[in-house]
Structure 1
Amino acid sequence: MLRVINLVDSRRQINFGIWNAAIATAPTLKSLAGIESELWFPRDRNTVIPEVFHDQVDAFEEVSSAGQFRKLLNQRVTGDLPVVVISHGLWREPTRWAAHAKQLGLPWIFTPHGMLEPWSLGQKWIRKAIYFRCFEKRMIETCDVIRAVSRPEQRNLKILLKQKNVTMIPNGIDRSPVVQRKPHETVRFVFLSRLHKKKAVAELVMAFCQSPLKNNPNVELVVAGPDEGELDRITECIRTTQTDNVVVPGAIFGDKKFGLLESSDFFVLPSHSEGFPSSVVEAMGRGCIPIISDGCNFPEAKALTISASPDIDSIKNALMTAANLKPDKVSKWSSEAADFIRANYTVDKIAYQQLELLCRLTNSPLAKQPCNVESQTHVV
């Protein structure tokens, strides 16, 4: 029916949020409508290709130059399937590659993943403003559709890129198992993302270390993720405050990540800015109660979250509110959060929204509706 080429700027694990969002629905799109999905990215000799690439997509390409991109694209254009190009992120190769594809007459869906949100644009703003106005915006204006991944991002993109077709399709996750949580004595808070200043992770650790939760043997904060500049501030705070119940295990992936989420009560992400954080959706799907900021761009889940702005006092208040909840309240809230995600944000539901967009863009008929897949139950 169709070939979709997803363009990302890196295959590194630290860029997991974007490339995973790009390919998460690929198997479902293939089962729904026979759509073949590919993932293209710049060549990087210093990192291995993630194993999931072999399982999730029909093909992937390491692109070493603009010339090679044109050659590969010409091969696909002369193939047996019509091609749609989807760029993920901006400032680097994906936008330039997609703009070239558009010049060849291929449909282009531009997906910035929160990189054009006000906070993100405000970082190194002079450099970004010049490049955006002179180069990036001119290329983006040639795309067919802009995909936002949250309602707030959709509103902001309509203001920034006037008279453009901006549609909203959130990110989705695999249908997680129904977790029947056993009572446990330790209240566990978990942060599971990049240790970047955008995430306000250092403020989270400072808030915890300044709160009555510090050194409480029945409370634990786990701060897991690859470092992007904040690890020194975190470890210094833990050292100087002599806090013994903050754990910093580094990056955690796969089954270890899911095990950590399923053994945690609260997922904390007091971020300054996000497109739409798949990590929050994933954590809620595993039964974690989210403590998140407005910058996480998830107003649909407002009734199921504890609000925390990205500052120490607000985070501290949110942590204490969570820690003082009764166990039966935590259990009920956890189940409601997981049910909400399974009802609205699984890959089968998101894939069908993507399929509708692809069909509108290519004037193709819709395929069958996605079927609901029951998940198995297990106890943690």
Structure 2
Amino acid sequence: MKILHLLASVDPRAGGPVEGVRRSGIAMRDAGHDIEVATCDAPGDAYLATFPFAVHTFGPARSRYGYNPRLAPWLAANAKRFDAVIVHGLWQYHGFAAWKALHHSGVPYYVYVHGMLDPWFKQAYPLKHMKKWLYWPWAEYRVLRDAHTVIYTTEEERTRAHQSFWLYRAREQIVPFGAAVPALDGAPLREAFLQAVPGLRGKRIVLFLGRVHAKKGCDLLIDAFARVASRDPSLHLVIAGPDETGWGATLRSQAQAAGVAQRLSLPGMLQGDLKWGAFHASDVFVLPSHQENFGVAVAEALGCGLPTLISDKVNVWREIEADGAGMVAPDTVDGTEKSLLRWLELDDDARAAMRAQASRTFDARFRIETMVSALTTLLETRGAPAEARDTPLATMRETAQQSS
């Protein structure tokens, strides 16, 4: 098959969706499929040079919405070259451009929602939610309604998506997301990371790796870490990831006030061997996120044999808890502290068993091959899709009551 992925950007700082396209695309290319990508990046953006597929760029975008008048005409002119178009994400112009160009073209398009219909956003940003309602009926609603399939990565994500907008109609399917972990010797990766980030040698590293953003609960993690730090002087917190909003300065001040500034490292975004070295050098991975569709870093941590302490707002929490590959608690300081304490109280044998289970959970549930197999099966089934599903009336009433 010849497949086009459509994203707002392939900037690695955008997080999981970009990495998912990279990893799944490589696996599908290895299986004999042709992969191309279209984005609203500017042609000269540096990260394009290292992206592994042909990228058609239509930026720079004229606004945060990503509007570009050249994108929809290009899609219409080139649609017949592709067997399928996969749209990643909502709320930016590339999805609406796909609808304009493709919904009567005969070329099926699919939409990965990537958690962007989670009701947490409505609760956390009510003014933005009201703004979204202004263009939901004529834009995103149509994008989802006319897609061949709207793809969710977990049942948890699909169920929660129905709670955001009462006007909703889509043909849905769950395709588990996946991650790829390179088969490399962990020892040299660990050593390279320890040399790159001073002061970590001999420490028991508590690792957060992802976007440094308020949604991720990094502030909860700092306060929870401060509460348990006295239990082991060797504990050290690493919060690694891109900081596009400048929140890192606030987090440093918070750590200073909590008395753990000397036990916190913020090395910025880690890529390639340094990222894998961070996983292999750490003792536990923590993600107390307020909203997380899948969490590619969770899967990558598991693939490196690293237990994961996550909140119950990470949509794979049921799988982690059921397997015993980590611990789950509410997205609060108390909840995060509880998980850290439970982990600290494990004896050596129990910790080793949890590390082994982390690897088994990755192999059974989150390998990129699992995702590619399910996605390929979906794309190859180009007949009439399942009947579109409306938001249930009970959910519509509940949503209307919550909004009033």
SS of alignment partner, residue 179 of structure 2 = coil
Give per-residue Cα distances to partners, 1:298-348, cap 9 Å, x unaligned: 122213221132211111121121122212211111011112202332122
Selected match of 1:224 from 215, 240, 249: 240
* CA RMSD after TM alignment: 2.5
Residue from 67, 75, 78 that aligns with 1:76: 78
Instruction: Choose which of 58, 83, 88 in structure 2 pairs with 1:63.
Output: 58
Q: Name the amino acid aligned to 1:108.
A: Y
Corresponding residue of 1:166: 172
Q: What is the aligned partner in structure 2 of residue 146 from structure 1?
A: 150
Amino acid corresponding to residue 7 of structure 1 in structure 2:
L
Residue 135 of structure 2 is aligned to residue 131 of structure 1: yes
1:293 aligns with 2:293: no
2:332 is aligned, of 297, 303, 311, to 311
**Cα distance per residue 1:281-305 (max 9 Å; x no partner):** 0011101110001111012221322
Q: Unaligned regions of 5+ residues in structure 1, if any? A: 364-380
Bigger fraction of residues in helix: 2
Q: 2:346 maps to what in 1?
A: 325
CA contact (8 A) 2:181 2:304 kept: no
What amino acid is aligned across from residue 91 of structure 1 in structure 2? W
Is 2:200 the partner of 1:196? no
Which segment is superposed worse, 308-317 or 224-233?
224-233
Q: Which amino acid in the other structure matches residue 69 of structure 1? A: L
Q: In the comparison of the two structures, how many residue pairs are matched?
A: 354
* 1:159-200 Cα shifts (integer Å, max 9, x gaps): 657552211112211244387899x96322100011111111
Q: Distance in 2 between matches of 1:315 and 1:179?
A: 31
Residues 307 and 358 in structure 2, CA contact (< 8 A), matched pair in contact too: yes
Deviation for aligned residue 1:42 = 0.3
Q: Quick one: distance in 2 between partners of 1:140 and 1:208?
A: 41
Aligned residue runs from structure 1 range 18-167, under 5 A: 18-32=17-31, 34-44=32-42, 47-53=45-51, 55=52, 57=53, 59-64=54-59, 66-79=68-81, 82-100=82-100, 101-122=102-123, 123=125, 124-157=128-161, 162-167=168-173
Paired residue type of 2:283: D
TM-score normalised by structure 2 residue count: 0.81
Cα shift at 1:107: 0.4
Shift of 1:45: 6.2
Determine the C-alpha separation between the residues in 2 that align with 1:142 and 1:130. Answer: 19
- Give how far 1:214 is off: 4.7
Q: Secondary structure at the match of 1:222?
A: strand
Residues 107 and 348 (structure 1), Cα distance of their counterparts in 2 relative to 1, 3 Å cut: same
- 2:402 maps to none
Structure 1 stretch displaced more, 226-235 or 255-264: 226-235
Q: What does 1:250-265 align with in structure 2 at a 5 Å threshold?
A: 250-265=268-283
Q: Which runs of 5+ in 2 are unaligned?
A: 60-66, 191-200, 385-404
Contact 1:190–1:223 under 8 Å retained in 2: yes
| Further displaced range: 171-180 or 341-350 | 171-180
CA distance in structure 2 between the partners assigned to 1:70 and 1:118 by the alignment? 29
**Matches of 2:300 and 2:155 in 1, distance apart?**
19
Cα gap change, 1:89 to 1:121, in 2 (>3 Å): farther
